[in-house]
Every structure is written in C-alpha cells, then in structure tokens.
Structure 1
Amino acid sequence: MSVSLPPSSATGPAVKAPSSQEYDETAPFPHDSPKPVRSRGERLSVAVTGAIVVVPFLALGVGGPLLWGSLIHSADVLLALGLYTVTGLGVTVGFHRGLTHGGYTAVRPVRIALAVAGSMSFQGDAIGWVATHRRHHAFTDRPGDPHSPYRYGTHLRGQLRGLAHSHIGWLFRNDPTPAARYAPDLLADRDIRTVTRAFPVLCVLTLALPFAAGWAIGGTWERAATALLWAGLVRITLLHHVTWSVNSLCHLIGERPFRTRRHDRATNLWPLALLSFGESWHNLHHADPTSARHGVDRGQIDPSAAVIRLLERLGWVRDVHWPTPDRIAARRT
C-alpha cells in the first residue's frame, strides 16, 4: 500500500531505474541524480504533505491533554470506528484492489463511492495514490521503488534509515510519480478525475462530519470537539500509520510463503491484518497482485475480500479475480 499526497503530477519525466542486474539486493540504491531546485508548485506540495502528516499530531498534542479525562464518550468511539472502517475500506477495496489492480469491476455508483471514501482517508487523491502504488509494484524493493526499506542497504544503520524512509520519509522527497505513465486509465476517467479534483473538499468533509455528529449528539461545543479529536484526528492518524506500516514493516519482517519477483521481499504480517482490513497479507498480494483476496490460508482474516464478496452477491461488482487452489499452489515456495 501507498500514501500519495497532493497534488498528483499528470505530466513529467518517466521514472527510470537501473536494471535488476545492476542491484545486488544488499547495497544501497545508486545515488539519485541531482534534483532541480523545487518549483513553487513542488514547494507547495511538500508544505501540504507536511501539513497532512503533522497537523493531526500537533492537534493531538495540544488538544489531547486538554480534553483527556472524562472527555471521551461512547459516541466518539463509535464514530471513530465507523469512519475508520468506511475510509479504510475506501483505500483497500476502492483505491487498492479496485482502481490500482483491477481485482474486480464495480458499477459506476460504487466505483465513485469507494473513490470518495478512500479520498476521505486523507491519504491523497485517487489518481496520485494509484500512480504511486503501481510504480511501487513496477520496481518493488529495487531502485525506482518510491518507498522501499532497502534504499540504504541491508546493514543495521541502513535498515533503520530505510525503515524511517519507507514509513514516512519518502513523502517528503522530491520524487514525483508521473500519473501520465502510471495511471493513464484514470486520467481518462471523468468520474475519477472529478473525485481527484474534489480531494481538498473531501479532506474538510472527513473532519467536518465527526464535528457535526458530535454537536448533533451532544449539543455542545465540547462534544463536537471530542468527536473531532477522536473520530477525526486520532482516526486519521491511526489509519495513516497502519497504511505506512504495510509499506515499511511488511517488507522487512514476517513470513514469505509465496514466491515473488526477483528483489521483491513483501511479507505477511498477521498482527496488522484486522487493522489493515487484510492488506498485511502482503506476500500473497505481491505474488498475485490482481487477486481480490490477499489472505488465502486458513485463519487469515481479510475483511476487504469479505466486502468485495458481499458487493458481488449484491450484483454491484463483477469479474472478480478470486484466487483458485491451483493458482495459489503454483505460487507457493
């Protein structure tokens, strides 16, 4: 999984990387070529990225101590759980398994609704998110991957630095992913272009909804503020870090029961399975990216696949790429 923050670049030079034969899987990635001085638009992009990443933490740091104590209510928890589920599934079912990998085909209203829900996760606009994730698959764990934890080598210092890079540091690099190369299908999709343009409004909406709900339920500014804190800022922060952990931890620790391409070190990490809605069964996903189900072995809970199954039974999605026993067996190590 990826997080790609606005604005997405529809144009720009193609991302180039050395061939796999030039990378030995242990050395740091070749030094990036010197980057040009950031333009005003690029500086603005970095500022927006920083705001989206940092502001929830600052708000928690300031508001948490003031509101802590009796100022958390059952309604705040329920709102947080509801919005975490809706926006999280918007990312996993909508952005990832649907728009990025084409694991199914959704009817138009569902496709739009999932793209809106994913945008409300505060993880970036739909086209930018998809382009970045497709680039990650094109160059997984080798030069060209925007957020590989192996960028700085496999020695201890390099791995620690790479962990920080893959978790959050990559968001601040001057390394745009050209949507024209990686997501031309979405650039040609009027509905997804509209949702992408609406990303700033949807970011406001994802905070306004818990604030308004808290006010409606409790009738006071205090209840509105606690709902904003827990169902807005805390929910966004938690979902961010779960997504970033799939980028980082799920390429460093865990099990690898399935074969992936050369250099690709995606793993399964069970402790994140429920919080990530099944995305942390990352090894199978990289072994078979278009599969609508990632958790294929006994006991591997995959809520995203369950939602896709429900949508299929309702007739709202079709052409679902369900894994077959023969397909799974062929990819086992």
Structure 2
Amino acid sequence: MIDLAGIVPPVATPFTADGDVDTASLERLCAFLLDAGVDGLFAGGSTGEIALLTDGQRDTVVRTVVGTAAGQVPVLVGAVDTGTRRVIDHARRAETLGADAVVVTAPFYVGVHPDEVTAHYRLVHDSIGVPVVAYDIPSAVHTGLPASSLAELAQSRHIAAVKDSSGDLSAFRRVLRLTEGTGLRVLTGSELLCDLALGLGAHGAVPGLGNVDPDGYVRLAAAAFTGDAETATAEQERLVELFDITSVADRSRVGPSAVALGAFKTALYLRGVIDHPAAAAPLRPLDEAETDRIRDLLTRAGLGVVR
C-alpha cells in the first residue's frame, strides 16, 4: 500500500521545437511543483499526454521526474495501454525506473466485462512489486470502474488508491462509502470539485490545472483538511475562474485534448516554467490571439507572467 494524500499534479510533458521531450523544462516544472508544496507527482497521466508518447519518451519522462523528485515525494507513473500484458510491461519498466506506484486504467479498444476489468487489476498487481492505483476515466477508455469492483479490489489489497476522473460526484461519494476502512486512498481528478470532494472525505486531488497554479491547490487542500470550508471554497472559486483558460481555444480548429493541454502548456510557457507550449503530434498549439487571452486570465488570477 501507499499512503497518498494531498495534491498530486499530473505532470505535463514539455516538448522541444523538434518534438522531443524537453527534459530541462520538465525538471523546472517538477521543481516549480515541489516548491509549491505538492504531495506527489504523477508522470504519464492524461495531462502528461501518455497516449501520445513513444516508449522511449515514456522512459525519459519517468527518469526525469523520478530524478528531480529525488525521494522528496512519491512519484506515480502511468502504465496505460490497451491490454493487460502491455500494461504489465509498462508497469515493470516504470518500477525499474523508480516509480513508487503505477496508475492503471481499464483495458480499452476491446470491449470488456466488469469481471474482466477486476481480473486485469489483479494480474497487474501480482506481476509487479509496487502498488497499483486504479484510474477511472470513462471519457477516455469508455469503461467505468464500478464502486463495488473498486471496493472488492481494495478489500483484497490489489489496488492501493483510485484516481476518480469520472466527473460523477454521487458515484464518488459511493466509492468513499464502500471503501471506508479498507485503507484505499481516494483521489479526485476534478479541477473544479476539489473542495467538495475533500469535504466528502477524499484523501487528495490530481488536478491538471495544478501544473499552472500548484500553490492555489495546495492552499485549497490545506484549508479543506483543517475544516476551513470557507477558505477552501474561496480558493476553489478562484481556480474555477482560472480554469476558463481551457475555454479559450477555437474548437472549430482544434480538438478537445488540444483545447485543455494547449491551455495548460501555454500558461506554463507564459509563466516562464517551460520553453515551448507545443503538445505532441498531431495536437495543434494555440494561436497568438488565444495566447493573449490566456495571458489576461493568468494576470486576472494574480499569477506572474513573464512572456
């Protein structure tokens, strides 16, 4: 098991102008997050563009994040692929490179039964020596993780935590209820409902927007954990306004992944954390007018802009 709690940002993956992993920018980003007081780092999540990285790029990202963290906080690593054996290969590689836990979705592309998903997690767990974090993201893999299955896996200790990106707060509440007393760490993946999730008893959050404003999410969590709901709500409201950066891109020109990832990376570029705002091919970058709009939103949120 792993005692995950607090703010664990899913680290963005910066690229050079040539499309290689920009390790210098990635090191700066990790240092930026650590300086803000985050409680862990998640390399190779959706915000890290895990589905678009080559195996070599995945290794580079993991090596860089693990090396920069240097044991200060746990490092979670995405082991995401279409089937169990492929996931096990990624998970073993991540373990070799120093991951403290691996984050695993349900299989996708192939249709699966809930019992097959449960077997998937058991097989991954039994094949590696680090804890498994279940990643519930039905918008990407088209298979939800039922609360009853998560409770079963938690009871048997095949999963140590779950990152819930379902967006279903009522289902999230049920997961918390059914897994109470099992030791399972329940983390929300929502940028916009952190105050509510933590108030319900969530152990932490994995917000993509936490790359852009980690200090805000750290303050939010600190307030929520001490029972200061008023401060947590006020911080959440400010972050909700900041999240408007993800509505800037022209959706007639770019797809939904480029809308969000482009916003996060452009904000990090404008804040001077990374050198290039580009996402992995085939995702398009934001244009000049969209960049200007994000600059305005960052300034309104009280965040420093250097470009």
What is the TM-score when the length of structure 2 is the normalising length? 0.30
Considering fraction of residues, name the structure with more strand: 2
What is the TM-score when the length of structure 1 is the normalising length? 0.29
Could you say which structure has the larger radius of gyration? Answer: 1
